[in-house]
Chains A and B, each alone.
Chain A
Amino acid sequence: MGEYLYCIIRMGETPKMDFEVRGIGNREIRCANYNDLTAVISETPLKEYKPTEEYTKEHKNVNLHILENHTLLPVAFGMVFKNKNILLNTMRRLYPVLKKSLRLVDNKIELGVKVVIHKELDVEKTFGKDKEKLRKECEADFAALDKIAVQAKAGKLFSERLVLNRSFLVDREKIDKFSAAVEKLRDKYKKLKIQYTGPWPPYNFVNIRIMGRGR
């Protein structure tokens, strides 16, 4: 059996280490400690995990559960180690990077904002060349969110309905302020849909991929 890795947290950060969540394949969540770091893992058969809906949901659920009480470094989906020793050796090798990444995301979470054109509207007919103008206007207004966040990143516009797709790294204490700013923008852009999601593990700001393959 191998070890499936979900995320890395600080050891002993809080006394609450009894995880009330099950891992991939309904397996028990356990910890592997190296120095002051803890890897959140579950036992797993040695195989390549395809990112199916079920598996990715299980992976995400574990990280969301841990995120409730910890600062975490999310690990890309499908990271399986042959045994605990290899995992601990990897943690030893990556220790400085892991520590640095943990400092970056300390007490922070990720929030996502997408601005979307209504489905029933024909994007080309309705906006035409004005779509670019609308995008620029949105970017300028939504820059207000960048100021509240520690960091912001533009995501891919994977749909022609998308006007803006942005991720934000936000201090936990500033979530309310950030949410209020989103609501203000929602009022201004009533003709568009605004999808506000989170809190998420900081996938877009640190995402550990060990030994090549990731999500």
Chain B
Amino acid sequence: MVLVIDDLVLLPLAFVGVEPVPNMFMLVFKGLHKHILEQMYPLDRIQDAIKENRMEFELGETAKTDYEKRHKDLMKQLEMAKKVRETVIEARTDLLNV
């Protein structure tokens, strides 16, 4: 839902150009955009989950196969989160020429 609002509002800006948009307006959108990314692709939380999974394996609470499966999933999530952030931020920078 939040992403839809973000995209819908930002999209027309690409067509009208950046110049007429006041700086404060852009700042709000940048802040909102950053917040959405953090909610949807929480790098910190994924990294914490990787460490927690490792800790549980080392404590003998998780079987090796389960540990490896979860580790693989989390690494995929981490890579995706990094990729999406880089891609979206680059695209926005290009789109808004800022």
Contact = CB atoms under 8 A, between A and B. Distances in A.
B53 to A, nearest CB: 9
Interface in B24-73: 47-48, 51-52, 55-56, 58-59, 61, 68, 71
B61 A158 contact: no
Contacts of A195: 55, 58-59
Contacts of A159: 48, 51-52, 55
Contact of B55 (A52, A53, A116): A116
Contacts of A162: 55
B75 interface: yes
B57 to A, nearest CB: 11
Contact of B56 (A52, A53, A119, A197): A119
A52 B75 CA distance: 8
A131 interface: no
Contacts of B58: 195, 197
A161 B51 CA distance: 12
Interface string A78-105: 0000000000000000000000000000
Interface majority SS (helix, strand, loop, mixed), chain B: helix
Q: How large is the interface on B (under 10, 10 to 19, 20 to 34, 35 or more residues)?
A: 10 to 19
Contacts of A114: 55
B52 A158 contact: yes
Nearest to A51: B75
Contacts of B68: 53
Interface string A44-58: 000000001100000
A158 B59 CA distance: 15
A186 interface: no
A63 B24 CA distance: 51
Contacts of B75: 52
Given A53-B68, A119-B61, A158 B56 contact: no
Contacts of B47: 158
Interface string A104-131: 0000000000101001000000000000
Pairs of residues from A and B, 10 with the lowest C-beta to C-beta distance, nearest first: A158-B48, A159-B52, A158-B51, A119-B61, A158-B52, A195-B59, A193-B59, A53-B71, A159-B55, A195-B58
19 contacts: A52-B75, A53-B68, A114-B55, A116-B55, A119-B56, A119-B61, A156-B48, A158-B47, A158-B48, A158-B52, A159-B48, A159-B52, A159-B55, A161-B52, A162-B55, A193-B59, A195-B55, A195-B58, A195-B59
Interface of B: 47-48, 51-52, 55-56, 58-59, 61, 68, 71, 75
Given A53-B68, A195-B55, 19 more contacts: A52-B75, A53-B71, A114-B55, A116-B55, A116-B59, A119-B56, A119-B61, A158-B47, A158-B48, A158-B51, A158-B52, A159-B51, A159-B52, A159-B55, A161-B52, A162-B55, A193-B59, A195-B58, A197-B58
